[in-house]
Amino acid sequence: MCFLLDIECLVAEYRQKAGTELWEKIQGMIEKSYVVIPILTVNGVKSDWVNKEITMAKTLNKKFIPIVENVVKDDIPDVLKGKEYVPYVTDNYAETLIKVTLQLKDMKRNDVGFATNC
């Protein structure tokens, strides 16, 4: 729970249940989410999982707040091309987190459909 914004952030790695089908779990989390925050790093843009998650979220018309590492900004998935993004500052994680938090706060204030799950 992000107490400052009164939203719940779903992170698959923190909700592990042995024996659960991973894709079904991720699918369910994306379906429950209002906004998806893909983190596109050198490894992230090459990840089949990340691309599959982004495609599913786009199919479900989810909103995105992409976080993009500068070295991969030309390699982002087609689904996210042309969208503004939060720069991933590798030597200052706090700056990136603050920018994402401000984006979420702005969405919560302005989007009628914003739910408690982000």
What is the pTM assigned to this prediction? Answer: 0.79
Structure tokens belonging to residue 76: 């982002």
pLDDT confidence of residue 110: 72
Q: Give the integer Cα–Cα distance in Å for 43 and 47.
A: 6
pLDDT of residue 118: 41
Report the alpha-carbon distance of residue 118 to residue 5 in Å, rounded: 10
Distance between CA atoms of residues 79 and 63, nearest Å: 12
pLDDT of 5 reads 56
Tens-level pLDDT at each residue, the chain (118 residues): 454 556 666 666 666 777 778 888 889 889 988 889 998 999 889 889 899 999 999 999 999 999 999 889 888 888 898 888 999 888 888 888 888 888 888 887 776 555 544 4
Report DSSP letters for 7-47, one per residue. BB---GGGS--TT--HHHHHHHHHHH-SEE--EE-TTGGG-
Provide the pLDDT for residue 24: 87
Specify the pLDDT at position 101.
85
Question: What are the residue boundaries of the structural domains of the chain, listed by start?
Answer: 34-110
**What b/e sequence results for 78-107 when a residue is b if at least 16 CB atoms lie within 10 Å of its CB, and e otherwise?**
ebbeeeebbebbeeeeeebeebbeebbeeb
